[in-house]
Structure 1
């Protein structure tokens, strides 16, 4: 029997525990194994007994367990303890570290998610099977065990732990054709089924939208026009008469007003229900159709807006002279788009960024059984929300069969005992049951006495197709010989039969040393042997002193692999400084200190995230360094520049300004594809004067050293010029369009400041 040891809580002492009884070991799919036993404190075991305390550790059969339940009861002059200890993995994986960050929402492989939660846990991982990539919203910010369980649910994965390596499969165990059959190898059968709270349909609602207004799909023309209108031809009307007006009557919460803007545009003033007012200029440097929202978030009821034309826009006089501005309004009797569109409050599904529903395949059998809706503001994507609904829908028919295991070897089972996760045929003729593939979900075994183990056969979810209760007995009769209690040989593939016969008849070069399994020795080299034992297959070149090439239940070890082609689902190479792996979907290298910095290669192309890339030319120059472009993009300057009043051009190359208010000199527009804008400018001030130069733009951070620069030419040389490269931080590149102005002002009235453009470019 294996020895049982107790470790002190601080792991400094280890004592053998004796005189314990009723030791049982429970195995369960995706729950590893746990042990329980009872023990009296006596002279033989008192030192070990006194070491036992909650969260201490028990070592049994080479496995460590954490004591989770410890009940001690005094009996006479001594005491008895009842102990339940779970596999140490759960305690260590939950408490050794914490994941503080949250991943950005994106589809990732199981490997990528595991690489995110595994650092600092003391464990490694291996993904054995191939899994599709999944998107899990807001994944992170939790202890690794909680996040690990989330991955098991999302990817429908199962796991085992070998040493400190977590191994992930689609299903643990194997498919076997050797049946569990009542009165042959199982007894004391109990069939249990539960359909409590069964549901087959669920709806879900994601994040509630901040803007609770939505267009009704209704567009209306203006009503009750007054005053003089110079043009009432569709699709645009206008008036040049100050005081001309029109009304818009509607039912809702706000409107979108449509108009034409051009260089002759003027100003409208709008009044809602005689109370709130708003103004709008229809002036624009170019002619185009525009719209604007008015009086949003008004109560949802009937409203009237009165619009009055106010004349010129004081900031933008019409080129045709004062008093000739036009108040443009869209109007059409033939087109769908008219003067204004109407908003209303969102209702029902419209209130949410994502709405989804899921119907279980079980609905075809049990009908629609509605589960309470799910409200979760983490979701803004309907596809991700639907995946979540699929996970939480209670469409499970729990069916299990508990039984005593008698002697499976007599039925031809290839191993001494059943294994957790195995799928077996199951026959109980007295219950009219014949299930060709049902899994071993739980095993309660008693390794130190003759009590038969209890086995639970069951199915996690009927809609996975595991509970095939309508199969016929004929399917099993084709493979199982009930008279002999054996699998019929003729169902084996011909190739398997030939291999079986060859191995049975090949006794040449084989040795059977006592307790050593089967040994095959090279007749030309005594030290070259192959050993086959229950623990594995080993190849040695030194007579069995070492086995550098071996296959065991824990994996494969080899010092050299030669292959024409390797087909695999997942390969991982994990070093001290990098996480590198590839699976059936992608090849990826992840920075272990920043999980969002990685390089990924798949059929969609190469993706380099968070500055992880360097591109170096043949001569050693780095075109891209840590993700930043190390070359320049030209910047276009508007020509002629849109200069402000007071700024003038003089001297063939200098733009000058005497005003003490900022004036526009240059205007640049460009695609936002780099982080920084560089502007090289020359400037000087008139004798006795000084001034400032500004680089201004929306969303542009020029910093205190760059936003302004004082130029003082007190030395008296009117033409002593200065040059400077101004650097503007444009923020994280978006790929959109950005623009900036260069502006100047003089500090001394009537003393000019001059500036000219030398060069502009984007970089970094």
Structure 2
């Protein structure tokens, strides 16, 4: 069984977590969105000490990474007691930090990350890997006055970047620029019979309006801006929730934000369930071969759900959901249906 260590909140006691339900244990990771563990442990004579350590804010150590128990359910089955927990990677505790100060003007992502952590690093360190300056710079207005996690998520969205945590060491990359190319191929009728493309238009919108701030005399810095996507010719006018942000004083900056935030494409996610366990890691570029659609390309793993304690139980893999890659595959899927 996969070894897990449980450590109390005070960091004064730790034990090997024994006799947890291996069928309940899974690791779920999705790029820049979530990284968590879930499991159930039932009390018995051998695990009484470690069972007591399973509590809110205790730490589970798995493969050298720290996960903090944030959700816990106590229950009983007859005379048997059990606990079911969800433990979130320590990176997400960065939400407990707050940067009150704001900055305005043209800034690089490195400059903005420096600003985020200027209020204190809270035990975290970070690096930005962008040797070709793909991320460039952006005009920002009143960037700050938010939690560290909120500000980082804004940077990831605005700059098209991702963050890969290694405990409290954070590494930022341009999206699609990290990970290893591997020959662990995913091939239809070889190691998978199930390839699914989830297409969701629930959030599809083609128009959005933005409202900026006002000066000391309560006059607007600029009139409300409405941006209509070219996709409206296909889907019609579908109005997204407006952006109301008092920090904006420049119309061009607001327009740039509206273009970024408008969800004018269907959300497309490729999901593959493998037949057997395969060693696939975060960001790996794997050969994806799907003869029915004539697809033969390297595609990035941006999420997975693994069951490490069950030998040979295959993972569920989420493939790159970039518009360019997934729209191309979707087009081939549509062409196939028309034949």
TM-score after normalising by structure 2: 0.84
Report SS of the residue matched to 1:419.
coil
Task: Kindly report the root-mean-square deviation, in angstroms, between the aligned alpha carbons of the 2 structures.
Answer: 2.8
Match of 2:191 in 1: 185
Pick closer, same or farther for the CA change 1:354–1:45 going to 2, 3 Å: same
CA contact (8 A) 1:199 1:395 kept: yes
- 1:8-87 to structure 2, matched below 5 A, reads 8-21=8-21, 22=23, 23-31=25-33, 33-87=35-89
Question: Do the aligned residues in 1 keep the contact of 2:185 with 2:288 (CA within 8 Å)?
Answer: yes
Which one of 316, 319, 326 corresponds to residue 454 of structure 1? 316
Instruction: Verify the 8 A CA contact 2:208 2:262 in the aligned structure 1.
Output: yes
| 1:124 match | 125
Q: Distance in 2 between matches of 1:178 and 1:16?
A: 33
Residue of structure 1 aligned with 2:172, choices 159, 168, 186: 168
Would the alpha carbon gap of residues 361 and 122 (structure 1) be closer, same or farther in structure 2, given more than 3 Å must change? farther
Alignment of 1:258-269 (within 5 A): none
Match for residue 400 of structure 1?
269
Structure 1 residues 373 and 12 mapped into 2: Cα distance closer, same or farther (>3 Å)? Answer: closer
SS of equivalent residue, structure 2 residue 114: helix
Q: Does 1:106 align with 2:105?
A: yes
- Counterpart CA distance in 2 for 1:367 and 1:155 is 28
Gaps of 5+ in 1: 214-350, 409-415, 474-764
Q: CA deviation at 1:376?
A: 3.0
Displacement of 1:128 = 0.1
Question: Match for residue 151 of structure 2?
Answer: 147
Shift of 1:433: 6.2
The alpha carbon displacement at 1:164 in A equals: 2.6
**Partners of 1:45 and 1:407 in 2: CA distance:** 31
Q: TM-score, structure 1 length as denominator?
A: 0.39
- Displacement after TM superposition at 1:2 (Å): 4.2
Question: Using a 3 Å threshold, how does the CA distance of structure 1 residues 174 and 62 change in structure 2: closer, same or farther?
Answer: closer
CA contact (8 A) 1:201 1:357 kept: yes
Q: Distance in 2 between matches of 1:212 and 1:141?
A: 22
Give the superposition deviation at 1:212.
8.9
Higher helix share: 2
Helix, strand or coil at the partner of 1:139: strand
Task: Give me the whole-angstrom Cα distance separating, in 2, the residues matched to 1:176 and 1:360.
Answer: 38
**d(CA) in 1 for partners of 2:236 and 2:242?**
18
Q: Secondary structure at the match of 2:156?
A: helix
- Match of 2:142, SS? coil
Q: What's the CA shift for 1:32?
A: 5.3
1:235-293 CA distance string (max 9 Å, x none): xxxxxxxxxxxxxxxxxxxxxxxxxxxxxxxxxxxxxxxxxxxxxxxxxxxxxxxxxxx
Q: Give the Å deviation of 1:89.
A: 1.4
Where 2:141 maps in the other structure, the secondary structure is: coil
Give the superposition deviation at 1:458.
4.6
The question of whether the paired residues in 2 share the 8 Å contact of 1:126 and 1:168 is answered with yes
Does 1 or 2 have the higher relative contact order (CA < 8 Å, sep 6+)?
Answer: 2
Q: For residues 426-465 of structure 1, what are the structure 2 equivalents within 5 Å?
A: 426-430=288-292, 432=293, 434=295, 436=297, 438-449=299-310, 450-460=312-322, 462=323, 464=324
Q: Report the CA distance between 1:200 and its aligned residue.
A: 2.1
**Aligned residues of 2:65 and 2:166 also touching (Cα < 8 A):** no
* Cα distance per residue 1:39-97 (max 9 Å; x no partner): 11111111110111112111122111000111111223330111111111112x122x3
How many Å apart are 1:422 and its aligned residue?
3.2
Q: Any gaps of 5 or more consecutive residues in structure 2?
A: 334-339
1:696-734 Cα shifts (integer Å, max 9, x gaps) = xxxxxxxxxxxxxxxxxxxxxxxxxxxxxxxxxxxxxxx
What is the CA distance between 1:438 and its match in structure 2? 4.0
Structure 1 counterpart of 2:95: 94
CA change 1:51–1:74 in 2 (3 A) is same
- In structure 1, what is the Cα distance between the partners aligned to 2:244 and 2:17? 52
Contact 2:184 2:280 in 1 (8 A): no
1:342-363 C-alpha deviation (Å, 9 max, x unpaired): xxxxxxxxx6525434344644
Distance change (3 Å), C-alpha of 1:179 and 1:359: farther
| Cα distance in 1, alignment partners of residues 332 and 267 from structure 2 | 22
More strand by share: 1
What is the distance in 2 between the residues matched to 1:41 and 1:117? 43
